Structure 1
Amino acid sequence: MTTLTTAGRPPTDHTASGAFRLLLALCGLTALLVTSAALAAVPARAADAQAAWANRPSAPAAYLADRLREHPVHVTDQLPREVPRSMAPAFARLAERTGVPTYVLVLPGQSGSGEDLLGAVHDRLGRDGLFVLLDESGVREAAAFGVGAPAEAARTATVFELPYDAGPLRSFELFVDVVAQGTEKAAARADAAREKFRDGKEPESMYIGPSDRQNQSFVTGIALTAVPLTILLLPPYVRRARGRFPRATRPGPAVGRSVRRRLLVPGLALATAAAIALTAPLVFDQTKRGPAPLPTSGDMTARVERVAKGLAQDPVCADPESPRMLDEAQLSRLHDRMERFGRSEGGGPVYVTVVPHLPEDESAGDEELFAAAVRAELRKADGVGEADGVYVVADPLDGYIDVFNHGLRVESSRLHFDLPDFISYGDDRASEADDHLLGERLDALMTYLDESPRTDEPTTSGNPARPLSPKEENSLPPLFATDFWPGLFVGAVAALLLLGLVAGALGIAGAVLRRRRPAPSPTEALALTAPSEPTEAYLLRTARTELSAAAQAVDEADLGSETLALAWDRFEAAMILVDGDIAIDVMRSSGPPGTDPATLLAVIVLARAARNALDGDTNDRCCGVNPLHGPAAGRRHVRVSAEGNRRRMLSLCPRCLDSAVAAPRELRERLLTLPGPAGTRVPYDEPEGSPLWVLGDGISRLVSAVRESSSAR
């Protein structure tokens, strides 16, 4: 029976009501704790995300730490011509001699900051030891973390004790030897090496280049003909000359002795020639240009295989050993645009590689050859088919972008030759940015691809020429080749000349003594002395001499000559610059036109070019490093500034063209500078108002610029 209360409501159960309120309170407290934990986890997750971003696999330090975790020596696959990967065991054997855990990285010399990189790799690896960074020339940086090793002293010793061409393995060997000596001895050795270098006792080069080998061949050829011919011709001549001066009567030589004498001279000459021919290869015994060992076929294909494998998984392949150029947003947008282009009419796959291109890599720095090799390797991958597509080659070091079409209905020549400069080389903003604005420029490239007209049939970029094999590239020419043959001729001439000098000294050929060889004209002498820092007085004196010589040459030239018009145009432009005053009177206080250093240099270049044209040399370009060097022999990408990684395509004279390959750093010292304000020196093509800024486009363009400037006045 139910008990009813007032108003007919059942009685309240206070026990059940309290339990319900307790349950509500517990639920609220739980919700509050969960909410607080969630709010507290937000910054923690953000910190974790930042840490993950800093240690992302694409970061060079994280990638290199993973490699060192697998093996304490990592040799890049980007330098097979100088430091092939097969050298890793040799580095590992040397590293064991340090007495401490040693980790070795061999990377391209332009890959980034060495000290910061070693510290970052150590942090990610989480192991103490001696960390050493080498490039294609030797030990670049070294740091000891948690171990007692004289890293800096050993590195200093390698810098000052070894020549620049010793190579990375020899440099690391010396580094290990110094580390093994201990801290005190290593410091003393480093100080001694530094002091010795200050005294001018630089270590001699260990290897020679092609020019040195040509000089050796030339000297060998001269010796092989000059010495035997001198022995063969000079003694008989001296003997006959003495017969013309009678002395007291003496008994003549016996017949047998006369025969032996006649046979002795030819025999001695023949023996001398044989001795020179056999001894020269022993004296000039160098066979290699540098210390690089011969790479294996696996060394030469390792990077291409790695990149092709990466492209098979992702059409954008960035080099893990280089600084990251594209962030996640740029990568996402690039992928989207590549997919849209692939679905468009006449479009197709786009493969983007962001890897360095160096003379020491498998393709010798040839981007077109690299793209063709990657495509050929992609053909071998499962599911890729013919690997047709547009191959974009972006260099993270200098920021250059090249595009090659293979099999799509897009005009290949337009992609290869008509690509806008902003996309190919960037602008001033790109040169100053650490990432070279690659993301922005690749986006502009995709717009250019979308707007490119389609062709009726698929097109393909031309087949690039194969570079020299590493063996051919690192081998010196044979000693009995190149300039050996001209040396034979010069040696014969030298022997005859010596015979003539002896004849003159004996008074037999007086005409030879009276005959004087004409001294070289001033302009010929100036062509052999081309200073890189000429004074204003030198430029003025040279300009006067060259103008006078050009005026005389033009005046005496055959009026029917086909090159007279070209010579006259160049001479007339030179005269315009000095207002027709060959004397170029610089003493006038009014400051006449044509007397500033840049204009004087232009006068010299034009006057010499006029005389060259009359001599049959119609070369329109002169050396871009120093126009005083004379006509150019070829063009090449070179770096003449010590700041930044920008390269310029310049015309080069034979000497500078040779140095661009053998010793590119010498070009900076040869760059012609002119006197500037307040005693400074400025590059010859930078003075304001100078016509020389167009000289890189040719002498004809300089002539046009001078005429245009004259018309404007």
Structure 2
Amino acid sequence: MRGLATRTAAGRPPTHHTASSAFRLLLILCGLTVLLLTSAATLAAAPARAADAPAASRPPAQAAYLADRLRENPVHVTDQLPREVPPSMAPDFARLAERTRVPTYVLVLPGQSTSGEDDLLGAVHDRLGRDGLFVLLDESGVRQAAAYGVRAPAEAARTTAAFELPYDAGPLRSFELFVDVVAQGPERAKARADAAHERFRDDHEPERMYIGPSDRQNQSFVTGIALTGVPLTILLLALCVRRARRRFPRAAPPRPKDDGRPTATRPKWRRLLVPGLALATAVAIALTAPLVFDQTKRGPAPLPTSGDMTARVERIAKGLAQDPVYADPESPRVLDEAELSGLHDRIERFGRSEGGGPVYVTVVPHLSEDESAGDGELFAAAVRTKLSRVDGVGEADGVYVVADPLTGYIDVFNHGLRLESLPLNFDLPESIAYGDDRADEADDHLLGERLDALMTYLDEAPRTDEPTTFGNPARAPGPKEENSLPPLFATDFWPGLFVGAVAALLLAGLVAGVLGIVGAVLRRRRPTPLPPDALPLLSPTEPSEEYLRRTARTELEAADEAIIAEADEAQAGGEVSRIAAAWDRFEAAMLLIDGDVDEERSPQTPGADPATLLAVIVLARASRNALDGDTNDRCCGVNPLHGPSVGRRHVRVSAEGNRRRMLSLCPLCLDSATAAPHELRERKLTLPGPAGTRVPYDEPEGSPLWVLSDGISRLASAVRESSRVH
């Protein structure tokens, strides 16, 4: 059996066992092949995955850089916001940070410089290796805060600063309120934050602390309107009121100028009262307007030093002197190692190409608060000038690429290379300059890919025979000029002066129209004096005191209007005597009721007795008669209300005795004296007496009417003499 077996094994191949070994070997070889291929694929795919990793998973160079800065100084103020937060403000932040009574680390960075502020503060804390209160601010105020290893109400203080202050309060004022709330303790800080949030939710937004140029223009416009409008309105309204008072019922007429008697004139100080008031108002407005509109700045930013304005450009120029690609360490990293390496290779090849040269790429934010006011052309020119001084080899010619990691925009400026400069700046493809939809959605704006496309565009750009330079950028506005408001008495102040004058004229015209309408209505509604022909027939024999008072007021108003209407015309025509006679009688009537015509007081009649009222009626009517040219100085002796006399007769007007008197009679009474003498006794005017009795008009004691029989002029003289005695 052993021999058979041995032979069998030696004489023919072992078919079963040999096949199994080969199959096993084949499996081993296949496994090794798959393993090698997988390892190779993994190694080949590793760079691609690293390139496709999001910015948040890349090495946090930003946090490491900021941690190094805080290790040197617990307050780091960026040099990218010199117009709003100059680096020289760092001691102010440090002084405020001491109030928190805990270790405080302050970072002042441009707004939107990070995609996750909480991650940034945490990363900075981890790399710094120190506990404390970490605060992140931007140009508007406290943006984020976190406490690590210390007891501090960071979030409550941040909420309070956000809701209690207006948006233009500035970072220093915001940080001051923040540290004050932190110092109050957790409980009070939380209560204050809740109250501030509640007020803000109820639309109680804090008012702005500063104004802008448009607000200053509005202030200047209002000041100009007030400076001319208010004084001119005072002058014009005073004129309107004075003219209206002369035309209103019961207004005193002007005294004729050439009546032969001294004229009572208004005191000079009273004449100058209204102009003086207008002048004083103008001076007051001019002096108080700068005190009311006392703002001189647009915002809280202090004036930066020259070092603040050049710090970032110097930092970038030093970096470009060592490396043609400068990525801002304070901003999130948007170019990985592979992209940087590829960009360096493309720059080196372009420098060796025909018509090529140096390319300087800056990946830094550009904001309106930086030294160039956000102007990439100014920034590139400043970097070139500073780089020339750093290298010490003359002008640093080359292509300057300005890439903004915040917006993703790319600008290109040629300085001294043999390239066509205008196409680089104005005809750059939009996919490179601004990016497409993919770039808008990406955190890094695909800057690495777009910069690579830019280098391809530069390789293919047309060359020129001579070096060219793009443009000649204008100077950026100075920080003081930019943050200063225009003077109050400038800009729209001058149009305001004109508008104020026009507004005053319109207002005066409106007031004059209203006063004219009111005066016309009052004149239309007041009683109309009886015509002279109707006086004997319509005048009562036993008038009541109310009738006398009403008639006296009506006659005075009529005389007033008549004198005003004819004064100027009569004086121009040389008829001064007629106006003087009318004025003489009107003035006597005014004196009877204590009306001071020099002060233009309205001729009110309260307190006058019936005899005085009758004398006022007689004098007022005689004043109008004088204007009409009637020189008759006597009125009806039977009833003075009958008007002027036309003759004289001896008549008996008393029922007692046969005594006759020589009286002046009106036409009606003159006819009755011949035809029916007994009727004159019934027509004799009586006035209300004491205890309801009636007394003849010429009998009351102390009455001015006792001289009426001597004429109206004598009555006027007696009234004037009596007024001087009293």
TM-score (norm 2): 0.62
The alignment status of 1:187 with 2:190, answered yes or no, reads: yes
Q: 1: CA distance between counterparts of 2:398 and 2:480? A: 33
- 1:91 aligned to 74, 90, 93, which one? 93
- 1:399-436 deviation per Cα after TM superposition (whole angstroms, max 9, x unaligned): 10000000000010111111111110010111111111
> Contact conserved, 1:95 with 1:102, CA < 8 A, in 2?
yes
Q: 2: CA distance between counterparts of 1:249 and 1:445? A: 93
Paired letter, 1:90: D
**Once the 2 structures are TM-superposed, how far is the Cα of residue 468 of structure 1 from its aligned partner?**
1.3
Q: 2: CA distance between counterparts of 1:298 and 1:206? A: 28
- Secondary structure at the aligned position of 1:204 is classed as coil
Residue 450 of structure 2 aligns with which residue? Answer: 441
Residue 64 of structure 2 aligns with which residue? Answer: 62
**Once the 2 structures are TM-superposed, how far is the Cα of residue 58 of structure 1 from its aligned partner?**
7.4
Residue 229 of structure 1 aligns with which residue? Answer: 232
Residue 109 of structure 1 aligns with which residue? Answer: 111
**Once the 2 structures are TM-superposed, how far is the Cα of residue 345 of structure 1 from its aligned partner?**
1.3
- 1:520-550 deviation per Cα after TM superposition (whole angstroms, max 9, x unaligned): xxxxxxxxxxxxxxxxxxxxxxxxxxxxxxx
Q: 2: CA distance between counterparts of 1:248 and 1:498? A: 24
> Contact conserved, 1:378 with 1:384, CA < 8 A, in 2?
no
- 1:469-512 deviation per Cα after TM superposition (whole angstroms, max 9, x unaligned): 1111111111111111111111001100111111111126999x
Q: 1: CA distance between counterparts of 2:375 and 2:365? A: 11
Residue 372 of structure 2 aligns with which residue? Answer: 363
- 1:484 aligned to 470, 476, 493, which one? 493
Q: 2: CA distance between counterparts of 1:202 and 1:248? A: 57
Residue 333 of structure 1 aligns with which residue? Answer: 342
**Once the 2 structures are TM-superposed, how far is the Cα of residue 255 of structure 1 from its aligned partner?**
4.8
Residue 400 of structure 1 aligns with which residue? Answer: 409
The alignment status of 1:259 with 2:280, answered yes or no, reads: no
Q: 1: CA distance between counterparts of 2:349 and 2:204? A: 63
Q: 1: CA distance between counterparts of 2:181 and 2:101? A: 12
**Once the 2 structures are TM-superposed, how far is the Cα of residue 204 of structure 1 from its aligned partner?**
1.0
Check 1:510–1:380 CA distance in 2 against 1; reply closer, same or farther (3 A cut): farther
Q: 2: CA distance between counterparts of 1:390 and 1:179? A: 50
**Once the 2 structures are TM-superposed, how far is the Cα of residue 90 of structure 1 from its aligned partner?**
0.1
Matching of residues 157-176 of structure 1 within 5 Å: 157-176=160-179
> Contact conserved, 1:94 with 1:176, CA < 8 A, in 2?
yes
Residue 650 of structure 1 aligns with which residue? Answer: none
> Contact conserved, 1:153 with 1:190, CA < 8 A, in 2?
yes
The alignment status of 1:208 with 2:211, answered yes or no, reads: yes
- 1:409 aligned to 402, 406, 418, which one? 418
- Secondary structure at the aligned position of 1:481 is classed as coil
Matching of residues 451-490 of structure 1 within 5 Å: 451-490=460-499
Q: 1: CA distance between counterparts of 2:514 and 2:436? A: 69
The alignment status of 1:496 with 2:505, answered yes or no, reads: yes
- 1:136 aligned to 116, 119, 139, which one? 139
Paired letter, 1:342: G
- 1:151 aligned to 127, 149, 154, which one? 154
> Contact conserved, 1:158 with 1:171, CA < 8 A, in 2?
yes
Q: 1: CA distance between counterparts of 2:356 and 2:335? A: 24
Check 1:504–1:345 CA distance in 2 against 1; reply closer, same or farther (3 A cut): same
**Once the 2 structures are TM-superposed, how far is the Cα of residue 384 of structure 1 from its aligned partner?**
4.5
**Once the 2 structures are TM-superposed, how far is the Cα of residue 462 of structure 1 from its aligned partner?**
0.5
Q: 2: CA distance between counterparts of 1:63 and 1:258? A: 84
Matching of residues 283-432 of structure 1 within 5 Å: 283-432=292-441
Check 1:393–1:249 CA distance in 2 against 1; reply closer, same or farther (3 A cut): closer
TM-score (norm 1): 0.63
- Secondary structure at the aligned position of 2:379 is classed as helix
> Contact conserved, 2:247 with 2:519, CA < 8 A, in 1?
no
Q: 2: CA distance between counterparts of 1:57 and 1:407? A: 37
Check 1:66–1:57 CA distance in 2 against 1; reply closer, same or farther (3 A cut): farther
Paired letter, 1:407: G
- 1:127-177 deviation per Cα after TM superposition (whole angstroms, max 9, x unaligned): 000000000000000000000000001001101111111100000000000
Consecutive unaligned residues of structure 2, counting only runs of 5 or more, are 1-45, 256-261, 521-726
> Contact conserved, 1:58 with 1:320, CA < 8 A, in 2?
no
> Contact conserved, 2:249 with 2:519, CA < 8 A, in 1?
no
> Contact conserved, 1:56 with 1:62, CA < 8 A, in 2?
no
Paired letter, 1:143: A
Q: Which sits farther off after the overlay, 403-412 or 192-201?
A: 192-201
- Secondary structure at the aligned position of 2:377 is classed as helix
The alignment status of 1:241 with 2:244, answered yes or no, reads: yes
Q: 1: CA distance between counterparts of 2:62 and 2:335? A: 13
> Contact conserved, 2:421 with 2:469, CA < 8 A, in 1?
yes
> Contact conserved, 2:245 with 2:251, CA < 8 A, in 1?
no
Matching of residues 449-598 of structure 1 within 5 Å: 449-507=458-516
Q: 2: CA distance between counterparts of 1:483 and 1:318? A: 46
- 1:295-318 deviation per Cα after TM superposition (whole angstroms, max 9, x unaligned): 000000000000000000000000
Paired letter, 2:107: L
Paired letter, 1:103: Y
Paired letter, 1:234: L
Q: 1: CA distance between counterparts of 2:162 and 2:391? A: 48
- 1:82 aligned to 76, 80, 84, which one? 84
Paired letter, 2:170: G
Residue 631 of structure 1 aligns with which residue? Answer: none
**Once the 2 structures are TM-superposed, how far is the Cα of residue 372 of structure 1 from its aligned partner?**
0.2
Q: 1: CA distance between counterparts of 2:450 and 2:270? A: 83
Q: 1: CA distance between counterparts of 2:111 and 2:505? A: 52
Q: 1: CA distance between counterparts of 2:410 and 2:393? A: 24
- 1:59-91 deviation per Cα after TM superposition (whole angstroms, max 9, x unaligned): 110000000000000000000010000000000
Residue 667 of structure 1 aligns with which residue? Answer: none
Q: 2: CA distance between counterparts of 1:222 and 1:386? A: 56
Check 1:442–1:246 CA distance in 2 against 1; reply closer, same or farther (3 A cut): same
Q: 2: CA distance between counterparts of 1:245 and 1:435? A: 83
**Once the 2 structures are TM-superposed, how far is the Cα of residue 258 of structure 1 from its aligned partner?**
4.1
Q: 2: CA distance between counterparts of 1:74 and 1:221? A: 47
Q: 1: CA distance between counterparts of 2:487 and 2:143? A: 34
Q: 1: CA distance between counterparts of 2:494 and 2:189? A: 50
Check 1:137–1:54 CA distance in 2 against 1; reply closer, same or farther (3 A cut): closer
Check 1:107–1:63 CA distance in 2 against 1; reply closer, same or farther (3 A cut): same
Matching of residues 34-53 of structure 1 within 5 Å: none
Check 1:213–1:255 CA distance in 2 against 1; reply closer, same or farther (3 A cut): farther
> Contact conserved, 1:312 with 1:384, CA < 8 A, in 2?
no
- Secondary structure at the aligned position of 2:278 is classed as helix
Q: 2: CA distance between counterparts of 1:187 and 1:432? A: 38
- 1:6-60 deviation per Cα after TM superposition (whole angstroms, max 9, x unaligned): xxxxxxxxxxxxxxxxxxxxxxxxxxxxxxxxxxxxxxxx9xx9xxx99999711
- Secondary structure at the aligned position of 1:257 is classed as coil
**Once the 2 structures are TM-superposed, how far is the Cα of residue 333 of structure 1 from its aligned partner?**
1.0
Residue 219 of structure 1 aligns with which residue? Answer: 222
> Contact conserved, 1:503 with 1:509, CA < 8 A, in 2?
no
Runs of 4+ in 1 over 4 A off after TM superposition: 53-58, 248-256, 508-511
- 1:99-125 deviation per Cα after TM superposition (whole angstroms, max 9, x unaligned): 000000000111012111100100000
Structure label with greater radius of gyration: 2
Check 1:378–1:91 CA distance in 2 against 1; reply closer, same or farther (3 A cut): same
**Once the 2 structures are TM-superposed, how far is the Cα of residue 383 of structure 1 from its aligned partner?**
4.8
Q: 2: CA distance between counterparts of 1:188 and 1:411? A: 64
Q: 2: CA distance between counterparts of 1:257 and 1:222? A: 33
Residue 280 of structure 1 aligns with which residue? Answer: 289
Q: Please give the root-mean-square deviation of Cα atoms over the aligned residues, in Å.
A: 2.3
Q: 2: CA distance between counterparts of 1:452 and 1:222? A: 60
